[in-house]
Amino acid sequence: MNKQDLAIRVADATGLARADAARAIDALLDTITDALSRGEEVRLVGFGNFVAGQRKASTGRNPRTGEPMDLAASVIPKFRVGRNLKDACNSDA
């Protein structure tokens, strides 16, 4: 499923126009992105949590040459699945 398919399903489920559903999805994603860029956590109870994690600086290897290279510390987005989502994915139905 891509974002357009998601917008169609949201529109059908809510009665919104497809364009309005697409704007709502874009606004949701932008809000989550902005919160993570500020270091905030986004909690959607039962679905999961979006968090900004820290990756330490490390030494890696250039895959082409095999030479060591320094990898800078960075912030990476992470998603921790909630119980309801996990249970829905593992149900027999």
Band of pLDDT at residue 93, cut at 50, 70 and 90:
low
The residue type of 16 is: L
Residue 4, both tokens: 């357009």
Q: For the segment 58-87, what is each residue's pLDDT rounded down to a tens digit?
A: 999 999 999 999 999 999 999 999 999 999
pLDDT at 92 exceeding the cut of 90 = no
pLDDT of residue 31: 97
Cα 74 from Cα 78, distance rounded (Å):
13
Whole-angstrom distance, CA of residue 17 vs CA of residue 84: 28
Q: What average pLDDT is seen over the chain?
A: 94
Task: Give pLDDT tens digits for 14-43.
Answer: 999 999 999 999 999 999 999 999 999 999
Query: What structural domains does the chain harbor?
Result: 3-89 (4.10.520.10)
Phi (first) and psi of residue 64, to 5 degrees: -80, -45
